[in-house]
A and B are shown apart, each in its own frame.
Chain A
Amino acid sequence: MTDKPSTAGERPSDLGAVAADTLLLDALGRGAPALADDQVASLLAAWRADLDDGLAVTESDQAADPAVVRLVGAERRGDRTRRTGRRVLGAAAAVLVAGGGLLVGAEHATPGNPLWPITRVMYPERADSVVAEHTLAQAREAAADGRQDDARRLLAEAATVIGHVSDEGTAQRLRAELATVRGMLPPAVVPAASAPAVPDPAPTGAVVPGSPGAPTAGPVPQPTGGAPQPTVTSGATPPGVSVPLLPTVPAPSTGLRLPSTVAPTLPPVGGLLPPLP
């Protein structure tokens, strides 16, 4: 910048600077704030924050992710029938809009997350069981957290949706799961209409993470292995991914030169890094 501004940075010969830039971009890519004294970094951080504006990543996606992932981990799908009833959930009919696009607004159709519309479009024949499964997972979380009202509401919703599931094997499995989750709650104003009173640890094959014999009496069942506050990041890259970047920078040969040139730039970059989880 001092001698030839036009070519400044054209050939970043300083490997330390390249490494510092890599760290900086890694941190910015994770949404970390920038230090005030790096103007472009501040601009990039503000830009990145603006791109997140109103993005539903904070709530529904992250809330759904652990539950869904747990489902995936424990799931055993017995039946893969593809031609079950092609029912469209009531409000979900609004999913498809002219132009082939999707209405994000359809997320209100079900409790949970904005992705269900897409799932419904892609797998209409399975939408009901997916919704039911997700709702049950939420109910299980609510029950494990001691949010009994939420759990009961979710169970009621799940029971309704399960009623729409046309594949009998799937419906049975879901009903068993529903009974299991209901068994986690203390007996209260639960209308025992649709509940087969089988709170025993009947392994449904679906989600029975750690505590099949959930205490039916304990008002606050302790969150066991079920990940009480699962902070599975829903971002594309887990936080640890960027770490292996560093060793690959072939710095050793120039290592002796580094301290003098890099010293001014490295400390602020290090300050960017968020505390590792």
Chain B
Amino acid sequence: MTVQEAELVSRAARSDPVATAALLARLRPGVVRYCRAHLGRVGGAYTTADDVAQEVCLAMLRALPRFQDQGRPFSAFVYRIAANKVADAQRAALRHLSVAGVDMLPDRPDSAPSPEQQAVSTDEARRLARLLRQLSPTHREIIVLRVAVGLPAEEVGSVLGMSAAAVRMAQSRALAQLRTLAGDTLDEVPA
């Protein structure tokens, strides 16, 4: 946590609205990308993921007064909240799926890309998202935090309770696995 961010966090924790807005402005893009990376597009749009991202921001603000600076990066605090919210959203989607039955299938997040989605999202992005689903949850989370959010390895380690060195080893394994998977699916989408 940089000095400036620590200052923002501490002011925001004291309900300083200006600092809160500044903190949000700084964190929100990463949170949005995190939720989008996990939840994907629904019906071609990121609306659902963005709603969850807003919930994450709100939950973060509500929990902020309880945040104690213990030397851990603030991102650990934020992305644990985000992970919980994303898991909630995924459970809710599953529940809805089981209640609604097969008729609702086309509307679900994991359905085949809609025409809009094909227009909006690039082939490459969708292909990577498919590959990512084949990784282990930890490897997937590392890639999401490192690439989608853009956290350094140290902060990813704080989020996941690993050392930075362990993150670096794991991220190399994840990359290697992605390379293997991409090679296996070369003929699927000719690059």
Report A's interface with B, CB cutoff 8 A: 1, 5, 8-10, 12, 17-18, 21-22, 24-26, 28-31, 39-40, 42-44, 46-55, 57, 61, 64-65, 68-69, 71-72, 75, 77, 100-102, 104, 113-116, 118-119, 121-123, 126-127, 129-130, 133-134, 234-238, 241-242, 245, 248-249
CA distance in complex: A75, B153 (Å): 34
A129 CB contacts on chain B under 8 angstroms: 17
Interface of B is mostly: helix
* Chain A residue nearest in CB terms to B32: A55
Whether A43 lies near B128 (C-beta < 8 A) is yes
CA distance in complex: A18, B8 (Å): 34
Whether A47 lies near B129 (C-beta < 8 A) is yes
Whether A115 lies near B180 (C-beta < 8 A) is no
* Chain B residue nearest in CB terms to A58: B29
Find the residue from A24, A44, A129, A133 having the highest chain B CB count within 10 A.
A44
* Chain A residue nearest in CB terms to B191: A39
Does B151 make an interface contact (CB < 8 A)? Answer: yes
CA distance in complex: A49, B33 (Å): 10
CA distance in complex: A237, B74 (Å): 11
Known contacts A29-B151, A101-B51; decide if A115 and B172 are in contact (CB<8 Å): no
CA distance in complex: A154, B11 (Å): 27
A121 CB contacts on chain B under 8 angstroms: 58
B58 CB contacts on chain A under 8 angstroms: 102, 118, 121-122
Interface string of B18-49 (1 = CB under 8 A from A): 11111011111110110011000000001000
B interface bracket (residues with beta carbon within 8 Å of A): 35 or more
Q: Please tell me which stretch of B95-103, B104-112, B118-126 contacts chain A, meaning at least 4 of its Cβ atoms lie within 8 angstroms of it.
A: B118-126
- Shortest 7 CB-CB distances between A and B: which pairs? A9-B176, A29-B150, A46-B124, A50-B125, A47-B128, A43-B128, A68-B22
Whether B125 lies near A64 (C-beta < 8 A) is no
Does B15 make an interface contact (CB < 8 A)? Answer: yes
CA distance in complex: A33, B32 (Å): 20
Known contacts A118-B58, A241-B152; decide if A50 and B176 are in contact (CB<8 Å): no
Q: Which among A28, A42, A57 is the interface contact of B147 at CB below 8 angstroms?
A: A28
Does B164 make an interface contact (CB < 8 A)? Answer: yes
CA distance in complex: A17, B182 (Å): 19
A119 CB contacts on chain B under 8 angstroms: 17, 20-21, 24
Interface string of B153-189 (1 = CB under 8 A from A): 1110000000011001101110111111011000000
Q: A125 CB to closest chain B CB, in angstroms?
A: 10
Whether A43 lies near B131 (C-beta < 8 A) is yes
Whether B178 lies near A249 (C-beta < 8 A) is no
Whether A52 lies near B147 (C-beta < 8 A) is no
A236 CB contacts on chain B under 8 angstroms: 26-27, 29-30, 75, 149-151
- Known pairs A29-B146, A43-B128 / 12 extra A-B pairs, C-beta < 8 Å: A28-B146, A29-B147, A64-B22, A65-B22, A68-B18, A75-B18, A118-B58, A129-B17, A130-B21, A236-B27, A238-B2, A241-B152
